[in-house]
Amino acid sequence: MLRSVLQLPNFRLLWLGQTFILCASQFWFVALTWLILEKTGSGLAIGTVLMAAAIPRGIFMLIGGAIGDRLPTNSVAAIAASVNTVLIGLVAVLLFFDVFQLGTAVLIAALFGLSEAFLYPAILALVPQVISKPRLRQANAWMQGSEQITNVIGPAAAGIIIGALGLPIAFTINMVLLTVGSGFIYWVRIRRRSWTGDQLSTGALAGEIMAGLRYAWKQPAIRISLLLIATINFAILGPIVIGVAELVTVRFGGSATMFGYLQSAYGIGALLGVLIASRLSAIKNLKTPLVLLACSLGVGLILLGFMQQAWMAAVVIALMGVGGGIVGVLGLTWLQQQTATYMQGRMMSLVMFAAIALDPFSQAISGVLLEINLTGLFVSAGMMMLLTALVSSLSQTSDRSR
């Protein structure tokens, strides 16, 4: 049944484009993290570089969504991906000439994050533009499946290639992957949107962004879901990236290949979650699945803090990924079905904003906690996740009682 949407040429191009782009992004993420760790040996330095990418990505995410609603969405995504291609190529050149410095990494990461603020909302907004609403869950299963496959392939490939060929070659291959993905996205053809006079006269970009915020705020289920997404990502991102890199260095032998494998473990679990979600019924409200996800991720983070063997850490991370994969498909489909066509870009930017707005703080706090105690980092994050699940559950019960 799921194969049918890939028979549609536009969706097939979109799916291939996202696959290559996300594979390149995962590759970049692992390669950049390992580059900074190799150059500095500091978890705080890794956090600084990742913050440099996260801050402009968060600040400009809502602007990127509004631009995606104004301009052809496929062109916005293709241009943003092309900019990142150039940035990755620049890193490769600097490494070949051995002139790469931490300050340069911060600047490139910031520009990369700025471009991603336009790229990811545009890709998400393209799905309902090329697929009818009754087939959205099917399409999102393929899109989320693509994402999770790249979560497996990208980090593992980065670790293997870095270990075998070195960082300069790795970043060159990374650039090629992103180039191919940009081309596929550019060739996607979208339906003309039906605009009303009111939608065309929204005026300044700031007004369009405010309209998107009001649209989400007036719908309580969407509002609460976005807050939960923000809290979950705040608690998990820093530990999974910076904390796992330190786990590999301190406890698991310090191998780039091992770091790539552990990052891939989440993708393996999430891919299984996507397959499960493709066989589930649509959800009526996103809050309950998010609460269950927060609970499972909290337990997983606490367990990671005490892991002494890599295979055990990989199992825990994979199980965390299963929950993320299930909620990802069902949640994204629910949000797209609740959103008017003319607002898709801004709503998807709000989803992305909720997912990454607190990234700089997560990474900064994780870097600081890492310098104090590695186990404490994971336990603190896990306890925060469990507290989030508890508070949200109590709120849910209260809502029903009224």
Flag whether pLDDT at 330 surpasses 90.
no
Query: In the predicted model, what is the mean pLDDT of the chain?
Result: 79
pLDDT tens readout for residues 26-75 = 899 888 888 888 888 776 787 788 778 878 887 787 787 777 677 778 88
C-alpha distances in Å from residue 81, one per residue of 119, 131, 226: 6, 22, 26
Listed residue (319, 270, 291) closest to 386, CA to CA: 291
Residue 272: what pLDDT?
A: 82
Per-domain residue ranges of the chain: 2-187+215-401
- 204: helix, coil or strand? coil
Flag whether pLDDT at 399 surpasses 50.
no
Residue with tokens 């589930």: 280
Residue 201: what pLDDT?
A: 40
Flag whether pLDDT at 296 surpasses 80.
yes
Flag whether pLDDT at 319 surpasses 80.
yes
What global pTM score does this model have? 0.66
Cα–Cα dist 238/360, whole Å = 9
DSSP 178-196: HHHHHHHHHT---PPP---
- Identify which has the larger pLDDT, 280 or 311: 311
pLDDT tens readout for residues 174-205 = 999 999 999 898 888 876 554 444 444 445 66
Highest mean pLDDT among 197-206, 274-283, 321-330, 334-343: 321-330
Instruction: Report, as an integer, the average pLDDT of 330-357.
Output: 73
Residue 83: what pLDDT?
A: 92
Instruction: Quickly count: other Cβ atoms within 10 Å of residue 127's Cβ.
Output: 23
- Identify which has the larger pLDDT, 186 or 238: 186
Residue 395: what pLDDT?
A: 62
Flag whether pLDDT at 324 surpasses 90.
no
- 175: helix, coil or strand? helix
Q: Classify residue 278 by its DSSP letter.
A: T
- Identify which has the larger pLDDT, 198 or 301: 301
Phi-psi category of residue 147: left, alpha or beta, with phi > 0 → left and psi -120 to 50 → alpha: alpha
Which homologous superfamily is 2-187+215-401 in? Answer: MFS general substrate transporter like domains (1.20.1250.20)
pLDDT-above-70 percentage for the chain:
87
Residue 195: what pLDDT?
A: 44
Residue positions counted in the chain: 402
Residue 401: what pLDDT?
A: 38
Cα–Cα dist 264/318, whole Å = 8
Listed residue (236, 82, 264) closest to 158, CA to CA: 264
Cα–Cα dist 186/209, whole Å = 25
pLDDT tens readout for residues 104-148 = 889 999 999 899 888 888 887 888 788 777 777 778 778 877 877
